């Protein structure tokens, strides 16, 4: 059984750790708020792009584009797929990293055919390398600093492989923070975009739709817009994952703080009991010594 000094030392250690977890909780809450503001500030632009592309395809459903095709196949009839996986650079975020990593492994095993792995985040890089998976490219310093420039860079790397015919499909795996409690791993197809995703053109009551002209041409316009839309998808996924990471870290640090408070309460009770026992023992020893001295003096006077 630990003595009072050991219990006191452990209480001091837990208190110091609690200061760290409290600071991490506050930092994560600040970063979460800033990330949400950044996403809200840029989302209208990409929403407008998607709306414009939807209108174009509704007007001209026969438009052809490499980004709207079904892709090619390998000699054995299998699709070549690229997977962009968004994880964190740091741990201490509960099951945030494990959930998305397990989902990617499940998808890779479920889909036949060759694949390439692109990873955002140091945790994901170490995980897949540890399990023997080849990583085509790792995007450093992106998980903790999601910006539109980094999203465009990632999109350019993936789409270059796609245009070269090295990839037939591009998927992104990220974590979507549905609310302050729930975060769900998402697996989304980036390219090629399916035409069925867009609503068919709605005609006016008189039977006429809108009249549009495209310069220099509809295909050129679509080929220019879709890479920006894909970059917007990636940026949104980066920020959503970053928000989910910070929220998961807040929940983990909050749980750590509650556990620390429970441990401190138990240790305080144990320390006080042990301290009270020691005080009682000292009082008993002093009382016993005083009685012994008194009896000794009485015996001496009786002999005299």
Q: What average pLDDT does the segment 127-153 reach?
A: 88
State the CB neighbour count (10 A cutoff) for residue 254. Answer: 15
Task: Check: CB of residue 175 under 8 Å from CB of residue 183.
Answer: yes
Upstream peptide bond of 216 is cis (omega within 30 degrees of 0) = yes
* Total residues found in the chain within this entry: 304
Q: What average pLDDT does the segment 107-134 reach?
A: 88
> Could you give the CA distance from residue 65 to residue 231 in angstroms, rounded to a whole number?
17
Q: Residue 201 pLDDT > 70, yes or no?
A: no
Query: Taking the C-alpha atoms of 137, 143, 145 and 150 in order, what is their torsion angle to the nearest 10 degrees?
Result: 30
Locate all alpha helices (DSSP H) within the chain, ordered by sequence.
4-59, 96-110, 122-130, 148-163, 218-303
Tokens of 279: 């005080």
Q: Residue 252 pLDDT > 70, yes or no?
A: yes
Q: Residue 14 pLDDT > 60, yes or no?
A: yes
Upstream peptide bond of 192 is cis (omega within 30 degrees of 0) = yes
Q: Residue 211 pLDDT > 70, yes or no?
A: no
Q: Which residue has the higher pLDDT, 203 or 145?
A: 145
Task: Check: CB of residue 29 under 8 Å from CB of residue 250.
Answer: yes
Q: What average pLDDT does the segment 86-108 reach?
A: 87
C-alpha triplet 36, 139, 234: angle, nearest 5°: 45
The backbone torsions φ and ψ at residue 19, rounded to the nearest 5 degrees and listed phi first, read: -65, -40
Reported confidence tier of residue 207, pLDDT bands at 50, 70, 90: very low
Q: Residue 286 pLDDT > 80, yes or no?
A: yes
Q: What is the pLDDT of residue 154?
A: 93
> Could you give the CA distance from residue 147 to residue 65 in angstroms, rounded to a whole number?
28
> Could you give the CA distance from residue 41 to residue 57 in angstroms, rounded to a whole number?
27
> Could you give the CA distance from residue 83 to residue 65 in angstroms, rounded to a whole number?
22
For the residues of 84-104, what is the DSSP string, one character each? EEE--SS--STTHHHHHHHHH
Q: What is the pLDDT of residues 66-92, one digit of tens each?
A: 888 655 555 555 788 999 999 998 888
Most confident of 37-51, 80-94, 207-221: 80-94
Question: 69-73, 120-124, 247-251, 263-267: which range is least confident on average?
Answer: 69-73
Query: If we measure between CA atoms, which residue out of 114, 221, 231, 106 comes closest to residue 168?
Result: 114
Locate all alpha helices (DSSP H) within 111-217, ordered by sequence.
122-130, 148-163
Q: Which helix (H) or strand (E) holds 175?
A: strand 169-177
Question: 50-64, 121-135, 273-287: which range is least confident on average?
Answer: 50-64
């Amino acid at each position: 059984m630990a003595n009072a000094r050991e219990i006191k030392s452990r209480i001091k250690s837990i208190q110091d750790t609690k200061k760290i977890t409290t600071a991490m909780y506050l930092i994560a809450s600040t970063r979460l708020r800033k990330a949400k503001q950044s996403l809200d500030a840029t989302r209208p632009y990409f929403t407008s792009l998607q709306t414009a592309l939807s209108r174009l395809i509704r007007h001209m459903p026969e438009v052809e584009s490499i980004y709207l095709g079904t892709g090619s196949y390998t000699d054995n009839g299998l699709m070549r797929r690229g997977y962009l996986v968004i994880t964190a650079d740091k741990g201490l975020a509960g099951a945030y990293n494990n959930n998305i990593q397990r989902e990617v492994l499940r998808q890779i095993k479920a889909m036949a055919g060759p694949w390439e792995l692109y990873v955002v985040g140091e945790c994901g890089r170490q995980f897949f390398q540890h399990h023997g998976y080849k990583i085509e490219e790792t995007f450093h310093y992106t998980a903790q600093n999601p910006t539109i420039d980094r999203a465009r860079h990632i999109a350019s790397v993936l789409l270059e492989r796609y245009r070269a015919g090295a990839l037939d499909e591009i998927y992104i795996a990220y974590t979507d923070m549905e609310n302050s409690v729930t975060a769900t791993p998402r697996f989304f197809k980036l390219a090629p975009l399916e035409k069925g995703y867009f609503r068919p053109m709605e005609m006016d009551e008189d039977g006429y739709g809108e009249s549009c002209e495209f310069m220099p041409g509809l295909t050129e316009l679509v080929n220019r817009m879709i890479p920006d839309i894909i970059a917007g998808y990636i940026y949104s996924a980066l920020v959503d994952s970053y928000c989910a990471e910070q929220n998961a870290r807040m929940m983990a640090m909050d749980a750590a703080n509650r556990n620390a408070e429970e441990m401190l309460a138990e240790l305080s009770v144990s320390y006080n009991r042990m301290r009270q026992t020691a005080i009682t023992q000292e009082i008993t020893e002093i009382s016993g010594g005083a009685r012994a001295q008194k009896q000794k003096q009485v015996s001496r006077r009786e002999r005299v």
